[in-house]
Amino acid sequence: MSRASVVARRAEELLGTPVVATSPVAGGDIARATKLRLNDGSVALMKTLPHPPAGFFRAEARGLAWLGEAGLPVPELLAAADDCVILRWIEPGKPTGEGADALGRALAAAHQRPCDGFGLEADGFIATLPLPNRTAPTWPEFYATRRLLPYLRLAHDRGALDDAQARTIEAVVPRLDSLLPAEPPARLHGDLWNGNVLWGSDGSAWVIDPAAYCGHREMDLAMLSLFGLPQLERLLDAYDEVHPLGDGWEERIALHQLFPLLVHAALFGAGYGARAATLAARYVPRPT
């Protein structure tokens, strides 16, 4: 039986609707994506992964529901199981200023939804890596112990950071209390880089593939800035109108980019580790 037949049969089991056609979708870094044309005329996207970590797709489904509840534009979740998720298909289009405005406003509103502390009751995933979410009383403590240090160790163990680079990044940790302003925890997408913003054919913008938790709102904004989101300035201006940003937030972008860069280093190699060390050096006093 071909892979397409297996995917179609599994989708039919979960949706209760015949699948009349399937086609692979390019672009995913982690999961395999398949476009499904259903017998009722609708179109869906099915994401699968050979031997996914336990709870991988369930965590994605929870994150989408949690963010959608907060008003972020997420694709409709049609089905979720241990081996896949199925989402309503979003026909791709081009970035628009109006879509960026709407996403900026929605993100600002979502960040104002109440959160019970920094973290989340359940751990999750970022890409295929475990994402520890055990709560902490402050953002500096959470950022140090649940985000920076675990992935610093992992990237170093995998050879993506040398000893000197690891020491530079580690030296930032004792300074986090003075570098990061106190703000209430925000409901975060958690992996909001350019590739996880989907521009629809109607000009709207959607968010996908969350690694959701409660954290400092500047995390999502720093990740949007990391790899160059189209229409970013429009998005940030709209965000700031709804939920004004704190003084000096732009100087903290690189600080909050250390986490995603360490994740990329652990997954994709030393180039990202070097970039993380270079950014970290901005926040570490030079020896006199």
Assess whether 191 carries a catalytic annotation: yes
| Distance (Å, whole) CA 169 – CA 182 | 22
Q: Estimate to the nearest angstrom the gap between the alpha carbon of 210 and the chain centroid.
A: 4
Report the candidate in 202, 201, 191, 192 with the shortest Cα–Cα distance to residue 235: 192
Alpha helical stretches, state H, 70-214 = 97-111, 139-142, 149-157, 163-170, 176-179
Q: Cα 14 to chain center, whole Å?
A: 26
The answer to whether 273 and 151 have CB atoms below 8 angstroms apart is no
Helix (H) or strand (E) holding 199: strand 197-199
| Choice among 101, 191, 209, 220 that is catalytic | 191
Catalytic residue annotation:
191
